[in-house]
Structure formats: C-alpha cells, structure tokens
Amino acid sequence: MINKAVNINSMHFFKYLLYLQIFFATQVLSGESPVLLDNGEYKIPAIYSTPSETGKYPAVILLHGTASNKNEVGDLYALLAKQLRDNQIASIRIDFAGTGDSQVDYLKYTLDSALADANRARQFLREQPQIDSDDIAVLGFSQGGLIAQLLVIEHPELAALVTWSSVAGDGIEPFSSLFHRYYKQALDNGFAPLTFDWRGPLNLSLQWFEQVKKQKSFTGLVEYHGPTLAIAGGADTLVDANSSVRLIQRVGSEDAQVVILKGADHIFNVFDPEAKQHATLQKITLQWLVEKLH
C-alpha cells in the first residue's frame, strides 16, 4: 500500500510538472510572462512582455489609472503591449496596490507607494539582459500619468514620457474635485470610500490626500528633457484636455507634442464599438514610441 501511494503521488507530481512546463512554454511563445515584483512591503503583480527575436530591446513601463488595473480599461494596455512586442519593444505593466491582482488593500495606495512600484518595475527592466537599460520609456494613464511624471523627474535619464488623459499641476490642483468631496471624511476617519458607478468603492487613505497636497510634479517637470507625448480626449469631462496642453508647455523637452482627439472621452470611447478614437490613440502612441525608442 505504501508503494502504491508513492506511485500515485509521483504520478500527480509529474502531471503537475508537465502542466507547469506547458504553462510556461505557452507564456514564452506568447511573449508574456506573469511576474511578482517585491517592493519590500508587498508583492506587485505584473506582466512582462518581450519580443520573440533575440537581441536587446527598448522597453516601456505602463502605469494604469485610478481604480483600473495592469491591462487598463478595455484592455488598452494589453493590446498596446502586443503591438509593442510586434515592433521589437518590450514592456511591463503592473497592478498598483489594491487594484487588479494586488493582494493588499487600496489603503496602501499613495503617491509614494505608486512611485515606488513604478521604480521597482523600472529596476526589474534594468536587470533583464535583453533590455537596453538606456532605452526605457514610461507611459501613464490619468493618475498614472502623474506617477509617470514623478518617475521621469526622479529619473530624468528615462528615454521618453507618454501620458494619456493625464492630470497636471502641483498640489491638489489636479484633484480638486476629490478633495472637495472626500477630504473631510478622510480627516475624520483616516480614509474615505471612493465610489464609482461601475465598480465597488476603494478606501482612499488620508495619507494619499496629504501627499497630494505636497506634490510638485508640475514644478519639477521642467527638469525633464526627454521626448514627451501627451494625448487627451477633446470630450473628456473628468480631466480637461487642457491639462495635457499645460503638461507639454511645462516640460523641459524641446521634443514635446500634444494630441487632442476630437470627440474622445476620458477613456477614448473604448467601449463604443462605432468609435475610432481608441484605435487612433493606440496607433499614434505606437508610431511615436517606435520612432523615439528605435
């Protein structure tokens, strides 16, 4: 009976090994590998996307917006990662604390934690032998655009900056509506439940509010001299397109461009099957990154 049990367990073990081999082979063939990055306090779920050809590649860090996840709304980041991969550009997309596959509460999310997570993704790319560490760009969507700005201010050697529907401004200016609606509750309770029409609430910490009050992204942006592209929707009612205009006017780069997509909302009409703005967004971004990173 003991030998039989050992044989059965061994059979399950080898089946499990075969499953792992098939899984990882599929990931390699598809060019995408799930990774867990350690920022010292918690694990950051991420997807590392690489071209199939051998050689060194440029890479892009993809930073999602508030209440979204590493694939972004309508899979915009997942789709962009594939397009980048097909053009010999690697990427990494991450879940910030409390979103996507993250195992910690959203209370952990602050500007400092998000910047630390973005930095950990940057460090991961620099550790990969197939990545050209001098050719790493960052793209941020909405609040992710603010984190991208903070990242290039901290690391001005980054090769390029791209923002989609990004906020811009020092202090509470980019988030005045959130402060008006939630700050008093956060002061009273230590956090405020941030509510949405399309998902459950997220607990926004008082620490996030206090860090936003002190942030100087707009002041610091003049120190970044790399190529910069800001894309916004002309019909965005959440973040005015003028934020992207101001961002481009402020950045220290002489190679800076703003694109306003007519009729596009904050998420570039990604759920409208008749709309073309989200496809245009992807096309412009891809062409620009291919030009700047190659």
Task: Report residue 202 as tokens.
Answer: 């997220």
Q: What are phi and psi of 12, to 5 degrees?
A: -65, -40
Q: Assess whether pLDDT exceeds 80 at residue 24.
A: no
pLDDT (0 to 100) of residue 6: 35
Q: Assess whether pLDDT exceeds 60 at residue 3.
A: no
pLDDT band at residue 99 using 50, 70 and 90 as cut-offs:
very high
Distance CA(166)–CA(241), nearest Å, equals 8
pLDDT band at residue 54 using 50, 70 and 90 as cut-offs:
confident
Q: What are phi and psi of 258, to 5 degrees?
A: -120, 140
Task: Count H helices and E strands in the chain, helices first.
Answer: 9, 10
> What is the mean predicted confidence (pLDDT) over 21-37?
64
Between 17 and 94, whose confidence is greater?
Answer: 94
Q: What are phi and psi of 137, to 5 degrees?
A: -110, 170
CATH entry, 32-293, from 2.40.10.350, 3.40.50.1820, 3.40.50.300, 3.40.1710.10: 3.40.50.1820
> What is the mean predicted confidence (pLDDT) over 209-217?
98
pLDDT (0 to 100) of residue 198: 84
Residues 49/80, Cβ–Cβ less than 8 Å:
no
Distance CA(100)–CA(92), nearest Å, equals 15
Distance CA(54)–CA(112), nearest Å, equals 36
- Would you give the end-to-end CA distance of the chain in angstroms? 64
> What is the mean predicted confidence (pLDDT) over 121-128?
98
Q: Assess whether pLDDT exceeds 90 at residue 26.
A: no
Give residue-wise pLDDT tens across range 146-192. Answer: 999 999 999 999 999 999 999 999 999 999 999 999 999 999 999 99
pLDDT (0 to 100) of residue 30: 62
pLDDT (0 to 100) of residue 108: 97
Residue 43 pairs with which residues in a beta bridge? 38
pLDDT band at residue 52 using 50, 70 and 90 as cut-offs:
confident
Handedness of CA 126, 127, 131, 134 (dihedral sign): positive
Between 23 and 47, whose confidence is greater?
Answer: 47
Query: pTM of the full predicted structure?
Result: 0.89
pLDDT band at residue 11 using 50, 70 and 90 as cut-offs:
very low
Between 269 and 3, whose confidence is greater?
Answer: 269
Where do the structural domains in the chain lie, given as residue ranges? 1-30, 32-293
* Parallel/antiparallel/unpaired status of strands 228-233 and 256-261: parallel
Q: Assess whether pLDDT exceeds 80 at residue 25.
A: no
Give residue-wise pLDDT tens across range 243-253. Answer: 999 999 999 99
Handedness of CA 7, 9, 15, 20 (dihedral sign): negative
Distance CA(10)–CA(16), nearest Å, equals 10
User: Crossing angle, helix 277-293 and helix 76-86, to 10 degrees?
Assistant: 40
> What is the mean predicted confidence (pLDDT) over 210-220?
98
Between 22 and 161, whose confidence is greater?
Answer: 161
